[in-house]
Structure 1
C-alpha cells in the first residue's frame, strides 16, 4: 500500500526544487511525524530537513502571536468586561464564568470565519430585541438589562481583541483572523514553496490564507480526495472539497491535486455488533490476538469513544509486542485526580468539622496510604471506633507524630482565608509527596504529581495576576476546566507496532487494517450538540458551521480512513444507552446501502457466554491448629450466641471464633438495629440495677419513668457518639429508644395492679462447666441473662428483644430440630441455655419460666417458652436440652467433622 503522504512526497521529489527548500503544512503534528518518516525512507542522500508545521503552529507563525489557553483568555476577558460595563450592571467573576465560556467559543467561530463582528453582533442584538419576552409596550428593568448585554457584545469583542493583540497574544480564533490579514506580509519575506496536504474542512481564514499562497504561486495543495465521493453530490464525505473546487478561483484554471480512486477497490468489511463498551474492548483484544508482528505494523485501532483508552490498554493481548498510543490520557482519569477532588470537596463549604466520609476518602486514598500509612490507619480506626460522623482537627491531632503528618491534618481541617493560601498549601503538599515518592517503583505517581503541580502553579499565577477568584467553589470549577485540557502522553516509538488513536489523530495517515470502535449514533457522528449563543438561522446566514458541517467533518475522516485500507473492522454497541445512543451509526448503514461490487461484508454479533455456575459450599477441615483453637474457646466458654452462630452457619463460627475475624468497625451514620438494642438494654440495666433484691412498686416505676430520658441520652452518648448526631433519622431513632423504655416501664406499672414483681437480677453474667466424658478437656458454657424476677409465685428468666417476636417463634415442637433448625428454634435454644445456666450456677429450683419481652410487640407482654402448651421448664426438659447441647458441642469439637457451609436465608436478629 502506498500511503497518501508517500505518494505526495514522490510527486514533489520528481520536481527540480530540493526537498529541504519546502515548507510543509499538515492538519496535525502527528501527520508531520509520519511525513518525516516517509522523507527518511525516500531520500537517498543527506540533506536538511524541510520546515514542517501543523496548521495551528503555522497560523501562530504567520500571525506572530502567542495563542493562550481558554482559562487565561477568560481571566483576561473579565478585565475587559469590568472596564466596559457600568458598575451597577457588573456581575461577579463566578456569574461571568457561567456564560463567558460560551461567548468565547462564539468569538472563536466569528474570527475563524472572518465575520464582520460589528454587523454580526448588531444583527444578533436585534434578534434578541424581537424575541424578548416582555409583552408590555414599555420594557421592564430586567428586559432592558438583558438587551443592554447583547448591545454591549460588539464593545466586549473589540476591546478584548485589541487588548490581546497589544500584548502579542490571542485566543485561537483571533490568531486565525490575524493570520488571514497578515498573509501578504508573511509572503513578502518568505519565498520558499509551501505544501499544504491532507486538509478537508477549512474555515474561512484557512481558505483565505491558502488561496493567497496559491494565487501568489508560493504553494501547492494536495487533497486526499476520492473520485467516488466527488461524483456523488449528496455524499458528505466530499461536501467541503466539492465546494472548494467549484468556488475557488484558483481551480478555474488549475486541476485539483490529489484525486484518487481507492474507495471502490477490493476491501473486506467486518460489521460487529456487541452488547456493551466492555464487550468491545474484549472483542478487540480477541481480534488483535490473531495479528502477526508484520500485520501489527499495518494496523490502526481508532477509538470512537476515547474514554475507553484505559480499558482498551488493559485488554491488549500479549502477542502485541509494540503499541504506540497517539492520544494522551486525560489526567482526570489518573488515580491522583480523585485525591485532589476530595480535597476540594472538604473545603468548598468552610467548617471546623468535616463530614467523615470525605475525610475517610482522603485518608484511605492510595496516594496517602503510600506516604502516611501509619497515620492514615490510626486516624481511620479512631474515626470508626468513636463513630465520628463529623471530624474535627482535635480528634486527629494527637495521632500525628511527624511534621508532614501535622501538615496533612491542617491541610484537611484548616479554614483557608483565601484561595491563594489554599493553592500554595496544596503545592507545598505536592512537594512533600514528591520527596516521599522519590523512587523508581513510584515513577507513575511522580509523573501524575508533576502534571498536577503544573496545573496548580498555573492557577496560582492566574490568581495572583487577576485576583478574581475569591471562593474555593469557584476555584474548583476553574480547576476542573483546566484539568479537562491536560493530558499525560504515553512514551514510545511513534511508528512501531500497533497504532492506537482517536479519530482526529488519523488525519493524513493510512493503514491497511483499520479497526474503529463505537460506531453508534451520538458517538460517531456526535449528533446535534451546540454550546453557543448564536441561533441556527444566524449561523446559516453568516456561513458559520452548524451540526451538519460538523457531521460532514467526521464523515470525511471516516471515509478517508477507508480509502487505502484493505481490511476494515467496525464495531458498534447493540444495547440502548441514554447518554451515548445505541443505534447503529449512519456510516455503517450508508456503507451497507452503497455497497460496492469489490467490497465484501461480514455481519456478526458477539455475545457474552453466560456461565452456569452452581455455588460450591465451603468445607473447612479441622487441622491440629483449628482443634487447638476450639479447645481454647471451650475453656473460655461457649456462649449461647456463639452456638447459635454455629447452628446458623458453621463457617461463620470458624471465621469469628477460630480465625478471630470480627466485623470491622464502621461509622454508623444512622443508628443500626443492634446499636439501638444495646442502648435499650443498657438503659434498662442502669435503671433497674439499684432495685435488685427489691419488690417493684408504682412509686419506683414512676421514678424510673422520670429518669428514663436522661438515662437513654447517657447510653446513647456512650454507645453512639452524641456529637452532631441528634438530627434527621438519628433523632427519630433516639425518640424510638425513649419510647421503648417508657412503654416497657408503663407495661411494668400496669402489670403491678394485679401482680407482684420481685427483682432478682439484671444483666447477670453466668458461667458453668459441662461434663462431657467424650472430651479430655474442660468445656464451659456462659451467658448474660437480661433479667431474672419473681412474678407472683413464678421465677421468670426474661430476654429483651427490640425486634418483633411472636408466640409461635417460642414454641418447642421437635427436640431433634433444636440443634439443626436455626430459623425456627434459635429463641427456644437461647432461653433453654439461660435456664440451664441459672439452674446450675444458682441452684434454683425447677420448674421455672423463660420467655421474651418484645419491644415491638408489647401487647403480647411476657412471651414464654412453651412445650405441649406448658410454659414451665422442668428438670426433664433441661436434662434433655443438656443432651442436645452435648451433642452439638461434640460435633463442634470432633476433628473428623469439618466446618460445612450452609445456604442461609437473610435473617433479622431481634436485639
Structure 2
C-alpha cells in the first residue's frame, strides 16, 4: 500500500520542483525526515536541493533569543521561586515532584496562551467570585461547581494547605519567568509563547511545510495562522475518513479525529481530502489478530515467531514492532531472530538498567552510609560491594587483590590510606572533602572507567551508558559549583537517583533500514505493511493518564487548558493512524491481573472490534512450556565419593547433626567440601554473637578462678560490682573474634556492634548472677577439647574414626538435691529458644531433626558428657557427669537448672543413658559411611528454607 509520505513527496516535487533550498519542512518529531528525504530524491530521479528539516521545537528555538533550560536547572530555579513566594522551606528532593508538576502547569498555560492571572486568580471568598464578567455562563457554572467543594463545612487541613499553595501560584509563575529571563533561558511553553507573541520576527525561509500534525497548541496555531496569511505556510494532514465521520448532531463518531477535524478549514490540506486512495484505508481488507498473553515477557518472546511467520523479517523497514510499554525493550532486543540482518531502534534504553547505574548507586551508598566522617573510615561491607562490582576492574587492576586482603586479614573499618593501593583505588576511595562535591568524585570515577573501557570494551550500549551517566553527573556538578544546586549530600543522592530513573539512552542507527522497533510516539507520519503492537493494555494505550496538576480539572477546562479528554483523543489518533494503511496487524495485550496489571485490552482495541467491520482473529499466546518442579538429587556413593569419605578421619557433633538434618547437606559440606558463604562480620550474625559471648566468658572466668579453678562468692561479686571490668573483657573478645587481634588501638564499633556489645555485657552479668548461687564451685576447664576414638562396621569392613569437639565449660558443683558432687558439661546458648521435651533417646536421633525440639543440642552436650565420663585426665575420680544447656535468656526463671532431662528425669549421670545413646550414635555414623546408602535430601522441606545449599540441590 502506498504510504502517506510518498503522496507528500510527489506533491512537493510537482509544486516546487527540485530546488527546495528555500523551504523548511516541519515535522512533529525527527524520525520522518530521513524517510521523506529519501522519497523526494527517489521521486525527482536525480540530485535535488533538499529542504531544511526541522521539528516544531527546533522551529521555535530558531526564532527565540532564549534557550531551553536544562530540566534539573529549571527545577532548581522554580524551587527558589517557590521558597521565595510562599515562605515554605521544603527540601529540594521533596519538592522535585512538585517542581515538575508546576513547570508542566506553567508550560500548559503558555502553550495554550491562557491568561495566567485569570487561571491563578486569588479567590479569597469561596462563596462569591469577584469580577467574573470576563467569564461566559458555562465557565461560571464550572468554577462555582468546583469552589462549592471548599465551603467552611468541608474545609479539611489538606484543602487548607492546597489553598495556601494555590493562592501563591501566580506569584511563583511570575517570579519564575523573570528569574529565567534574566539568565536567558526558558521552559518550552515560555519560549513558544514569546515567539508566538512577537510580531517582529522575520521568518528565515520562504515556505514552511507542516506535515503530519495532530494536536496543535494555541501558540502553534497563532504562528501557523500568521505564516498562512503571509502565504508562507503549507499543510499536509494525515488522517482517515473512518475517524472523521460525524453524527447528525455534528459530533465525531471517533475521538481520533477530534483535532484534525478542527484544523482542516483553517489550515487547508495540500492533498485532496476526497482522494480515497490516501484517506480511506481503514475500511480496506486487513488481517488483524488480537493476542492475549499471560505475561509481558511471553509477548516479547513472541517477536521471534512473529517475524519468522510468513517471513515478515524480509520486508525490512516495512515491518515494525511497536512497544506500548517501553520497559519491554531489553527483552525485545534479545528476541530478534538470527535471520534479521538489521534492526533500527528508536525508543530509549532505561539508564537504570545498565551496569554503570548500579555502580553509581553503590558509590553513593558508599559515600552516604559506608563512610564515617568522624572516624575517617569506610565500612567493610560497602567497600566489598564496590570491589565486587564488575566495573571495579576498570578502576584498578588491584581491586581483587585489595578485596582478598580485607577478607584474609579481617581488616574492618579500613581507612582511605589502606585502600589506596594505586591511582584508581585512590580515586575510588578518596576521603570526602567538603571543598570537592560528591558529583566531582563521581565524575572522576566514571572518567577512570571510561578511559579503560574505551580501549577494552567495544559494546556500544556500555559506551553510551557511560557517556550518558557522565553527562548527567557533569550537569549536576556544574549546578553544584554554580550554587544553583545548594543541597546537602542526602538530598543530592536522592536527586541523582530520581534523575537516573527517568533517563534513557537513545539508540543510533539508520532509520530507513531494517526492522523498526519503536515506541508509539515515534510512529507518527510513518506507515508499515506489517505491524506487531505489544502490551496494548488499558493504561499503556492510552498511556496511563496522569492528571496530577495544581490546577483542578474544572478550572483547566474552563480556561481551555489540556485535560484528560484531550490526551485520550491524542492517543486514539496515534492508534488508528498507526494501523490505517497496514495490511497485517497483530496486537498483543497482557490478560493477567497479577503484578499491578488490569488484564484489560486497550479501549481502542474494543472500539475496533465493535465499530469497524474488520474481521479480527482472536488467539491466546501460551508459553508452550509446562512448569517443571526441580527434584533434589540423590547422590550414590560411587568410587570418588567413597574415596572422599575415606579421607574423613574426624566428625564433630555439628557434622553429625548436619547429616541428621539433611544427608544431602552433609554431602555438600563435608564430602564435596563446598563452604558456606562468608558471614558479614559487620552484621553480627547469631553465630558471631555467640562466639563473642563464649570468648568473653572464657576470658572472664580464667581471671576469676583461683589456681585450682575454684570460684568464690567474693570473686563473682567483685565482677558484678565492677562492670567496667566486664566491658573491657567484652572489648577483648570483640578484638579477637571480629578483628582477630589485628588492632592494637581502641576498637571502633559500628552502630550494630555497639548495641550487641551492650547485650553481651548484660548476658555476662546474668551468667554471673546464676553462678553466684552455686558458689563455691570449681571450673575445671573452659573451651576444653573432648575427643574419643570409635569403631564402626560397614559393608566394606571395619572403620576407625575420631569424634568430639570443644566444650564451652566443664565445671564441678555440689548438688544439694542428690547430696553428691558431679561434673557438668555446660553448653552456652545465647538465642531465645522454646525447648520441647525429649522423652526418649530415640527422639534425639530421629531423622530429620524435628524443628523446635533442638535435639541437635542434646546430641552435642550428651556426646561430650559421655567422653568426659571416661576421660581420666578430666575426671580422675570418675564423678557423675551431667550434660547441660544454659540458655542465657531463660536464666531469670525461678529455680532455673540447665541440666537436660529425658522425659521427667534429669540426667545426673550420663552413664545411665550411655549404652542406648552410644548404640544410636554408632548407627548414624555407620549410615554416613555405608557405601550402599546414598545421600538423600531431607523429607522436611522447611529445612530447605534456610539451607545455604538450596540453590545447588534445586529444591
TM range (shorter): 0.7 to 0.9
Q: 2:882 aligns with which of 847, 850, 854?
A: 850
CA contact (8 A) 1:631 1:777 kept: no
Shift of 1:309: 1.4
Q: CA deviation digits over 1:579-633, x for unaligned, max 9?
A: 665433211222222131x433325364675525252334154444x55544443
Q: CA deviation digits over 1:345-378, x for unaligned, max 9?
A: 4445885155665544433332124434643564
Look up the match of 1:125: 121
Q: Judging changes above 3 Å, is the alpha-carbon distance between structure 1 residues 128 and 245 closer, same or farther for their aligned structure 2 residues?
A: farther
The alignment status of 1:519 with 2:536, answered yes or no, reads yes
Q: SS where residue 225 of structure 1 aligns?
A: coil
Q: SS where residue 17 of structure 2 aligns?
A: coil
Q: 1:651 aligns with which of 664, 679, 682?
A: 664
Shift of 1:76: 6.3
Q: After superposition, where does 1:200-239 map in structure 2 within 5 Å? A: 200-232=214-246, 233-239=252-258
Shift of 1:812: 1.5
Q: 2:187 aligns with which of 149, 171, 176?
A: 171
CA distance in 2, matches of 1:241, 1:211: 15
Look up the match of 1:54: 55
Look up the match of 1:674: 687
Q: 1:780 aligns with which of 781, 784, 802?
A: 802
Q: Judging changes above 3 Å, is the alpha-carbon distance between structure 1 residues 347 and 887 closer, same or farther for their aligned structure 2 residues?
A: closer
Look up the match of 1:322: 342
The alignment status of 1:766 with 2:795, answered yes or no, reads no
Q: 1:190 aligns with which of 202, 205, 212?
A: 205
Q: After superposition, where does 1:430-579 map in structure 2 within 5 Å? A: 430-441=446-457, 443=459, 444-465=461-482, 467-476=484-493, 479-480=496-497, 483=500, 486-576=503-593
The alignment status of 1:416 with 2:434, answered yes or no, reads yes
Q: After superposition, where does 1:370-389 map in structure 2 within 5 Å? A: 370-372=394-396, 374-375=398-399, 378-379=402-403, 382=406
CA distance in 2, matches of 1:546, 1:807: 66
Q: 2:391 aligns with which of 360, 364, 367?
A: 367
Q: SS where residue 11 of structure 2 aligns?
A: helix
Q: 2:353 aligns with which of 316, 333, 349?
A: 333
CA distance in 2, matches of 1:643, 1:251: 87
Q: SS where residue 366 of structure 1 aligns?
A: coil
Out of 711-720 and 99-108, give the one that drifted further. Answer: 711-720
CA distance in 2, matches of 1:80, 1:826: 68
CA contact (8 A) 2:823 2:879 kept: no
Look up the match of 1:686: 699
Q: 2:427 aligns with which of 407, 410, 418?
A: 407
Q: SS where residue 33 of structure 1 aligns?
A: helix
The structure carrying a bigger helix percent of its residues is: 1
Look up the match of 2:733: 715
CA contact (8 A) 2:82 2:172 kept: no
Shift of 1:221: 1.4
Shift of 1:6: 1.3
CA contact (8 A) 1:25 1:52 kept: yes
CA contact (8 A) 1:805 1:854 kept: no
The alignment status of 1:240 with 2:226, answered yes or no, reads no
Shift of 1:544: 1.9
Q: CA deviation digits over 1:266-285, x for unaligned, max 9?
A: 12322222233333323444
Look up the match of 2:330: 310
Q: CA deviation digits over 1:624-660, x for unaligned, max 9?
A: 4x555444430xx322222322333333333333444
Shift of 1:465: 4.3
CA distance in 1, matches of 2:271, 2:569: 27
The alignment status of 1:830 with 2:860, answered yes or no, reads yes
- 5+ residue gaps in structure 1? none
CA contact (8 A) 2:122 2:167 kept: no
Look up the match of 1:112: 111
CA distance in 2, matches of 1:78, 1:805: 57
Shift of 1:263: 0.9
Q: SS where residue 539 of structure 1 aligns?
A: helix
CA RMSD across the alignment: 4.3
Q: 2:279 aligns with which of 251, 256, 260?
A: 260
CA distance in 2, matches of 1:173, 1:57: 13
Q: After superposition, where does 1:745-824 map in structure 2 within 5 Å? A: 745-750=768-773, 757-771=777-791, 779-792=801-814, 793-802=820-829, 804=833, 806=835, 808-809=837-838, 811-813=840-842, 818=845, 822-823=849-850
Q: Judging changes above 3 Å, is the alpha-carbon distance between structure 1 residues 122 and 46 closer, same or farther for their aligned structure 2 residues?
A: closer
Q: TM-score, normalised by structure 2?
A: 0.80
Q: SS where residue 159 of structure 1 aligns?
A: helix
Look up the match of 1:277: 296
Shift of 1:791: 4.3
Shift of 1:686: 3.2
Look up the match of 2:949: none
CA distance in 1, matches of 2:429, 2:269: 70
Q: SS where residue 457 of structure 2 aligns?
A: helix
Alignment size in residue pairs: 876
Out of 344-353 and 363-372, give the one that drifted further. Answer: 344-353
Q: Judging changes above 3 Å, is the alpha-carbon distance between structure 1 residues 159 and 818 closer, same or farther for their aligned structure 2 residues?
A: closer
CA contact (8 A) 1:75 1:466 kept: no
Q: SS where residue 398 of structure 1 aligns?
A: helix
Shift of 1:150: 4.2
Look up the match of 2:627: 611
CA distance in 1, matches of 2:340, 2:270: 50
Shift of 1:261: 0.8
CA distance in 2, matches of 1:312, 1:875: 71
CA contact (8 A) 2:209 2:235 kept: yes
Shift of 1:324: 1.3
CA contact (8 A) 1:646 1:653 kept: yes
Shift of 1:878: 4.8
Q: After superposition, where does 1:9-158 map in structure 2 within 5 Å? A: 9-15=9-15, 17-18=17-18, 20=20, 22-63=23-64, 66-74=67-75, 99-115=98-114, 119-127=115-123, 130=126, 149-150=168-169, 152-153=171-172, 155-156=174-175
Look up the match of 1:294: 314
Q: Judging changes above 3 Å, is the alpha-carbon distance between structure 1 residues 202 and 664 closer, same or farther for their aligned structure 2 residues?
A: same
Out of 513-522 and 61-70, give the one that drifted further. Answer: 61-70
- 5+ residue gaps in structure 2? 127-146, 154-159, 247-251, 740-745, 815-819, 947-955
CA distance in 1, matches of 2:907, 2:74: 85
Out of 319-328 and 652-661, give the one that drifted further. Answer: 652-661
Q: Judging changes above 3 Å, is the alpha-carbon distance between structure 1 residues 483 and 905 closer, same or farther for their aligned structure 2 residues?
A: closer
CA distance in 1, matches of 2:404, 2:344: 42
